[in-house]
Amino acid sequence: MNNYIISSTFDPSDMQSDTLIISCSRVEQELAHAIAATGCPYPVIYLKSRLHDVPTQLMTALQEVIDEVSDAGIRKIFMGYATCGNALAGLHTRKCELIIPRCDDCVTFFLGSMKRRREMPTGIFYITSDWATDETHGLHEFQNYVEEYGEEMAQEIYEMMFEHYSYAGILDTTCCPTDTFRPQAEQFAEQMDLEVIDVDGTNDWLTQLLTGPWPENRFFHFPSGYQITAGDLYLP
C-alpha cells in the first residue's frame, strides 16, 4: 500500500473511529480546507494523483487500500474521488460502505455541479493551485520532457496534448487566493498559446461529502460487500 500513498493520518493501532477518508492528493488543499471548516475528525489517506494516468492502476491502488483498512476495522469511507474515467468500476467495498461524489472528475467538484460543467464553454483547461505548483504537471512536466527529448520535441508533444484547448481557466476553489498561482498559470498559458480566463468555483461538494446529507443526485452510496460496476457509475 505504501507505494501509492503520499501521506496518511490513519493509524490502525490507534483507531478512534470506524470512518476514514481516502482521497486523491490533487484535492488535498481543498479537502484540508473542508476538514478545517467542518471540524471533521476522521483520518485521511492521500494517494498519488498520477495514478489517474492509468485508470486500472488507480483502481488497483484503491482496492489495495480498501482491503487493508477494511481488515483493520474501518466500516465507512468517504472518497475524495469522482468516477475518474470509470476507474472505480470493479472496485469491491469489502466490509465498508463507500460515499463518493457523483461526478466525472475533480474539476466538477469545484464547478459545483454536473449541470454547470456541461454548460461551460468547451476548450477550457482548468488550472487549480495544486495543478499549477505540482512538480509532475504543467511547466515542471514540460521541462522534464525538454530534458528527455529536447525542446523542439517537447513543444510538439505538449502542443498535441493541448491542441483541443483554447483557454487556460484559473479555477478559484475558494481555498487559496488565485494570485498565489496566477504567475505559473499565465506562464503555462503563454507556453501553450492559451487565453487566460478566470473561473469562479466552490468547495461545497467536498464539504458536503464530510457532513452530509448525501442525496443520490450528488453522491454514490455503495454498501458493504458490493462490487461496483461501470453501470453503477451513471452520471445525472
> Could you tell me the pTM of the whole model?
0.93
Q: What does the pLDDT look like over 43-61, one tens digit per residue? A: 999 999 888 878 889 999 9
Domains (ranges, CATH) in the chain?
Answer: 5-105+204-233 (3.40.50), 113-200 (no CATH)
Instruction: Report the SS3 class of residue 51.
Output: helix
Which of 4-8, 202-206, 228-232 has the weakest average pLDDT?
4-8
3-state helix, strand, coil in the chain (%, to 5): 45, 20, 35
Q: What is the mean pLDDT of residues 126-136?
A: 84
| In the predicted structure, residue 80 carries a pLDDT above the cut 70 | yes
Q: What does the pLDDT look like over 99-125, one tens digit per residue? A: 999 999 999 999 999 999 999 999 999
| In the predicted structure, residue 1 carries a pLDDT above the cut 60 | no
Confidence of residue 82 (pLDDT cuts 50, 70, 90): very high
| In the predicted structure, residue 140 carries a pLDDT above the cut 80 | no
Three-point CA angle 11, 16, 21, nearest 5°: 65
CB 196 within 8 A of CB 168: yes
Task: Return the H-helix or E-strand segment holding 62.
Answer: helix 55-72
Question: CA–CA distance from 57 to each of 64, 114, 151, 200 (Å)?
Answer: 11, 25, 30, 32
Query: What are residue 91's phi and psi, to 5 degrees?
Result: -70, 135
Give the β-pairing of 195-200 and 219-222: unpaired
24: left (phi over 0), alpha (psi -120 to 50) or beta: beta
Beta carbons within 10 angstroms of residue 181's beta carbon? 19
Distance between CA atoms of residues 20 and 96, nearest Å: 10
Task: Return the H-helix or E-strand segment holding 109.
Answer: helix 106-111
